[in-house]
Structure 1
Amino acid sequence: MNRYWGLVLLAGIIEILWAMGLKYASSFWMWSGVIALIVLSFYLLLIANEKLPVATVYAVFTGIGTAGTVIVETLLFNEPFSFTKVGFITLLLVGVMGLKLVSAKPNETRNA
């Protein structure tokens, strides 16, 4: 995995944090943290988009955020578990991995 896909992964993990923050933030400082995480995740995404295909990057980013948020909410915050959720998360992840696999290699010498 190259540096730019690492940034997409990090941005997706940060997205999990700010998505949960949208639900649980209750003070000025918590909301400030959520806003900072949103800005940071999209900044990392913008850097990754300089060298990687935009559509694939966004699909991977939202897939990580969606699946990760459901998993974390289920494990840490006692959201109800269902095999239907697991099935749809699996379908989402298979689609995201498929998009990454069929995407063309980025042009490393592309100028901005």
Structure 2
Amino acid sequence: MNWIILLVASVFEVGFTFCMAKAKEAIVPHSYYWYGGFVVCLVIGMYLLVKATQTIPVGTAYAVFTGIGAVGTVLIGILVFKEPANAMRLFFMATLIASVIGLKMVSH
């Protein structure tokens, strides 16, 4: 169950980075809505991360949290913000995903 909580927390991490990027693009007063979304996603994500670490080792949980968040943020950048999707970026995203899966497999 806590692995699911950790996955949801990682989605909120992607949410707060997305809101941060959108706030940078928006003009006042619309940017305040994105900053509000940033704060909400940040608080929920951190709360869920703390809940997940009740049974998952903190080092593993944080590595998985940031790994999924990083991959999700790169994907959002590619799909929404039209960032480049070159072979090296995709290769390193794949190695990051493999590392997250490896940490999950060796955690008790």
CA distance in 2, matches of 1:39, 1:55: 20
Query: What amino acid does structure 2 have at the position aligned with 1:92?
Result: L
Structure 1 residue 20, shift from structure 2 partner: 1.6
In the superposition, the TM-score normalised over structure 1's length comes to 0.86
**Structure 2: gaps (5+ residues):** none
RMSD of aligned Cα (Å): 1.0
Deviation at 1:22, TM superposition (A): 1.3
Q: Deviation at 1:97?
A: 1.1
Q: Which amino acid counterpart does residue 52 of structure 2 have in structure 1?
A: A
Distance (Å, rounded) in 2 between the aligned partners of 1:15 and 1:48: 14
Distance in 2 (alpha carbons) for counterparts of 1:30 and 1:86: 28
- Asked if 1:8 corresponds to 2:6, the answer is yes
1:67 is paired with a residue of what secondary structure?
Answer: helix
Q: Give the SS at the match of 2:38.
A: helix
Task: Say if 2:93 is the partner of 1:93.
Answer: no
Indicate the larger mover: 84-93 or 17-26. 17-26
* Aligned mates of 2:21, 2:75 — CA distance in 1: 15
TM-score (ref. length: structure 2)? 0.89
More helix by share: 2
**Structure 1 runs of 4+ with >3 Å offset:** none
- Please state if 1:62 is matched with 2:60: no
Where do 5+ consecutive residues of structure 1 fail to align? 106-112
Q: Which amino acid aligns with 2:3?
A: W
How many residue pairs get matched? 102
Give the % identical residues.
37
Secondary structure at the counterpart of residue 79 of structure 1: coil
Cα deviations across residues 34-75 of structure 1 (Å, max 9, x unaligned)? Answer: 111100000000001111111111111101100011112111
Counterparts of 1:82 and 1:4 in 2: how far apart (Å)? 34
Aligned to 2:39: 35
